[in-house]
Amino acid sequence: MSIEAQNITKKFGQFTALDQVNLGIPSGELVALLGPSGSGKTTLLRIIAGLEFADSGTVLFDGADTTHQTARDRRVGFVFQHYALFRHMTVFENIAFGLRVRPRRVRPSKEQIRAKVHELLQLIQLKNLSSRYPSQLSGGQRQRVALARALAVEPSVLLLDEPFGSLDAKVRLELRRWLRQLHDEVHITSVFVTHDQDEALEVSDRVAVMNEGRIEQVGSPDEVYHYPVTPFVYNFLGNVNLFHGRIGDENTPIQDTATGELVYVRPHLLEIHRQPNGGSNFRATIKHINSAGPLVKIEALTEWGAPVHVEISQEKFRDLRLKKNEAVFLVPKETKVFHKKVI
């Protein structure tokens, strides 16, 4: 089922959570709403779900207006950030809940419900834990039960609010790959909210980057990462060095002169040289080296006194034999320039 949010505006008191937001989600896609906290992504998700109502604007499901329908009528599956499992029910009862509360004439028989729940337990690989209570499960297990519970009612749309937000790093990685796989199998239109750019880029078909109640850019992970349309998107999707200045002549390409241009360089797109190579470069002094991890992270101070982050490979680091307080030349391989009027 496709989802269309048109001109959604939502205010909480003085605070504008969403400002004229438009978002179209084609049927069967897995879309990430990505943004910092307070950017309105969860509010947008809750409005799509019918758990919250917009001050103005419409929500269409497959072209049909659902703006005034409640969550109950919209047939959405919603997975809450903190799972919201029914704590007094077992895993089995939690998953069966949505089927059991149906009106008598559309309620499946006991056997059908049991079959459906077992099928879902199989899917989330928790078959042997069906009689446990939520408090007896680990975070990752709870998350999967919450997902199975949402899927049990065969929703037309699956909405997930920070689905991996409260899990530790390792389980997070496993679960998000699993979610991607699940979506490839089930193919249900899904929207998930996240503040983690890696998560959004890895899992989703498309990413909507949100900031201060507005959508900054919508596109495939590739598009938003490589062709950001605003400084915010570029900034949010990876580490950056920001220089207020302009692309200057050959020798000093990034000057700290206020000419109204913003120059961004990602840390791994800066090269370190011992000698000027004739192209664009600037001088810097190494202040801190962190070599734990796949890349060596170096903090340096530019000749005009601005801090700059550089990431180089371990191999390169060994070759250069860099030391603290050493003076080096930094060469930007690729820069991204935004004119101030864009912001």
Partner 1 sequence: MATAISLRAGKVPATRQVATAATVESRAVRWILIGITVFFLALFICLPLAIVFSQAFEKGLGAYWASLRQPDALAAIRLTLLAAGIAVPLNLVFGVAAAWALGKFEFVGKSLLITLIDLPFSVSPVVSGLIYVLLFGLQGLFGPWLARHDLQIIFAVPGIVLATIFVTFPFVARELIPLFEAQGQEEEEAALALGASGWQTFFRVSLPNIKWGLLYGVILCNARAMGEFGAVSVVSGHIRGRTNTMPLHIEILYNEYQFAAAFAVASLLALLALATLVVKTVIEWRARPQFAESAEGEGEEQIA
d(CA 11, CA 244): 34
Contact pick of 64, 101, 115, 258 for partner 1 (by CB under 8 A):
101
**DSSP 8-state code for residue 269:** G
* Cβ pair 314, 294 in contact under 8 A: yes
* Cβ pair 291, 316 in contact under 8 A: no
Q: Rule CB under 8 A: is residue 141 a binding residue for partner 1?
A: yes
Q: Rule CB under 8 A: is residue 178 a binding residue for partner 1?
A: yes
Considering beta carbons, is residue 96 or 330 the nearer one to partner 1?
A: 96
d(CA 198, CA 220): 13
Q: Rule CB under 8 A: is residue 70 a binding residue for partner 1?
A: yes
321 token code pair: 């034999």
Considering beta carbons, is residue 101 or 258 the nearer one to partner 1?
A: 101
Contact pick of 84, 242, 247, 289 for partner 1 (by CB under 8 A):
84
Alpha-carbon distance values, 146 to 1, 96, 136, 178, 241 (Å): 21, 11, 14, 14, 40
CB of 16 to partner 1, least distance (A): 20
Q: Rule CB under 8 A: is residue 180 a binding residue for partner 1?
A: no
Contact pick of 121, 175, 237, 328 for partner 1 (by CB under 8 A):
175
Considering beta carbons, is residue 83 or 243 the nearer one to partner 1?
A: 83
Q: Rule CB under 8 A: is residue 125 a binding residue for partner 1?
A: yes
d(CA 153, CA 155): 6
Alpha-carbon distance values, 26 to 3, 7, 23, 112, 205 (Å): 7, 17, 10, 31, 11
Sign of the CA dihedral running 222, 224, 227, 231: negative
CB of 271 to partner 1, least distance (A): 37
Contact pick of 11, 75, 118, 180 for partner 1 (by CB under 8 A):
75
Q: Rule CB under 8 A: is residue 167 a binding residue for partner 1?
A: yes
Q: Rule CB under 8 A: is residue 76 a binding residue for partner 1?
A: yes
- Site residues (CB under 8 A) for partner 1? 49-51, 70-72, 75-78, 80, 82-89, 97-98, 101-102, 125, 133, 135-142, 144, 149-150, 152-153, 166-168, 170-171, 174-175, 177-178, 181
